[in-house]
């Protein structure tokens, strides 16, 4: 397992750029938590890491930020916790990793692609045929008013539950699965919501939706989205809202599961269909639409440019 140290809010993008498998990252350490965005569910401070060390599995590799690598190295060595672990700077790691992978012929071209826009050009745009019935909506909430009600629904990446509340109220699902890492760490939630209440993310969300949980409507699923989704039967969901990790590699991993788990004719709403912050949602979603011949229903505008795209899977033709 790998620890990323000191790469702050760029950790996810750096992991994608430098080909660090997301599911091998045990934890992201950064002492300037205010810089890390809330969805970096794995970010904790070094102090917290030391306090909770026993909860983590064995770390074989610590990858540190370049600009304060010596400091990080000293801190890590002084802790005496990483007997056999390698401590390496990100640049060095990238260099070795790229060379190694190239030699082994395992180099994944897309991971090399540091810029989601370049990748998107390679994937190409969605054909007009798949967009013919699409509508532009004023917001992502507007889509919920227009989608079929009831059924089995999953929201992947729920955070504080603000959008969960909208889905529950507007779509009235029979079953609603709330999927999130629900990390035990409270530090990265900068608004102090959880700290004030002395609750973990999991407890906080469970408390907010306790009525839906006790009625059996809402089920909380903790873990990496792709692992959680894999456990459901195929063709299970009527509607899935995806808003978890936003780097290309993670979205692609989520999509691999989602297209198996959604029913024929089911609907998927992708949040953050944007290039902002280097997000890789656009190329991953466009690729899926093209490969699955899925129909675009709505493009939902957002004042800050973080649009949603709503697509419907094809029903198998007899
Ligand atoms: C942007 S927030 C979700 C916001 C929410 N959908 C809303 O609109 O109110 C992203 C959430 O995804 C979770 N997350 C990020 N990567 C994840 C992953 N790979 N698996 C599960 N959850 C993840 C984070 O813990 C965070 O709570």
pTM given for the model: 0.77
Instruction: Pick the closest to residue 245 from 212, 264, 272, 265 (CA basis).
Output: 272
- Going by alpha carbons, the residue nearest to atom 25 of ligand 1 is 41
CB-ligand 1 contact for 55 (6 Å cutoff): no
Q: What is the largest CA-CA distance in the chain?
A: 66
CB-ligand 1 contact for 245 (6 Å cutoff): yes
pLDDT in tens, 171-211: 999 999 999 988 755 444 445 566 667 777 888 899 999 99
pLDDT of 38 above 80: no
250 CA from centroid of ligand 1 (Å)? 12
Q: Which pLDDT score is estimated for 222?
A: 92
Percent of the chain with pLDDT over 90: 47
Q: In this structure, are residues 6 and 68 in contact, taking their beta carbons and an 8 Å threshold? A: yes
Say which residues have a Cβ less than 8 Å from residue 72's Cβ, sequence separation at least 6.
Answer: 5, 6, 62, 64, 65, 87
Domains assigned to the chain: 2-112 (3.40.50), 119-312 (3.40.50.150)
pLDDT in tens, 4-31: 888 876 777 777 667 777 777 888 888 7
pLDDT of 64 above 70: yes
What is the position in ligand 1's atom list of the atom closest to the CA of 183? 25
Instruction: Pick the closest to residue 284 from 248, 242, 243, 259 (CA basis).
Output: 248
Q: Which of 16, 244, 272 should be mutated for ligand 1, with most atoms under 8 A from CB?
A: 244
Pairing state of beta strands 308-312 and 295-300? antiparallel
Instruction: Pick the closest to residue 11 from 32, 195, 307 (CA basis).
Output: 32
The pLDDT confidence band at residue 3, using thresholds 50, 70 and 90, is confident
CB-ligand 1 contact for 158 (6 Å cutoff): yes
Query: Per mean pLDDT, which of 37-51, 58-72, 106-120, 127-141 is the most reliable?
Result: 127-141
Q: Which residues on neighbouring strands pair with residue 221, listed in sequence order? A: 179
Query: Per mean pLDDT, which of 75-79, 252-256, 265-269 is the most reliable?
Result: 265-269
């Amino acid at each position: 397992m790998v620890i990323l140290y000191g790469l702050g809010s760029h950790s996810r993008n750096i992991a994608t750029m430098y080909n660090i498998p997301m599911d091998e990252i045990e934890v992201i350490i950064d002492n300037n938590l205010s810089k890390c965005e809330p969805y970096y569910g794995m970010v904790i401070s070094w102090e917290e890491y030391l306090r909770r060390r026993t909860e983590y599995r064995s770390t074989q590799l610590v990858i540190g930020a370049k600009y304060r690598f010596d400091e990080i190295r000293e801190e890590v060595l002084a802790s005496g916790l990483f007997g056999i672990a390698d401590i390496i700077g990100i640049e060095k790691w990238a260099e070795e990793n790229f060379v190694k992978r190239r030699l082994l012929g395992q180099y994944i071209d897309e991971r090399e692609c540091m810029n989601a826009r370049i990748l998107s050009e390679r994937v190409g745009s969605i054909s007009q045929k798949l967009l013919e019935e699409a509508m532009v909506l004023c917001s992502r909430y507007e889509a919920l008013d227009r989608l079929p009600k009831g059924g089995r629904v999953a929201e992947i990446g729920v955070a504080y539950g603000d959008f969960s509340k909208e889905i529950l109220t507007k779509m009235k699902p029979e079953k609603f699965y709330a999927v999130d890492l629900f990390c035990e760490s409270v530090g990265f939630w900068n608004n102090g919501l959880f700290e004030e209440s002395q609750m973990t993310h999991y407890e906080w969300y469970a408390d907010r939706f306790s009525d839906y949980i006790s009625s059996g409507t809402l089920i909380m699923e903790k873990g990496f989205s792709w692992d959680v989704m894999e456990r459901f039967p195929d063709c299970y969901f009527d509607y899935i809202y995806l808003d978890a990790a936003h780097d290309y590699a993670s979205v692609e991993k989520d999509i691999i599961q989602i297209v198996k788990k959604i029913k024929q004719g089911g609907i998927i709403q992708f949040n953050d269909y944007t290039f902002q912050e280097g997000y890789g949602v656009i190329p991953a979603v466009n690729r899926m639409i093209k490969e699955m011949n899925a129909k675009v229903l709505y493009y939902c505008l957002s004042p800050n440019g973080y649009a949603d795209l709503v697509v419907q899977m094809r029903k198998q033709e007899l």
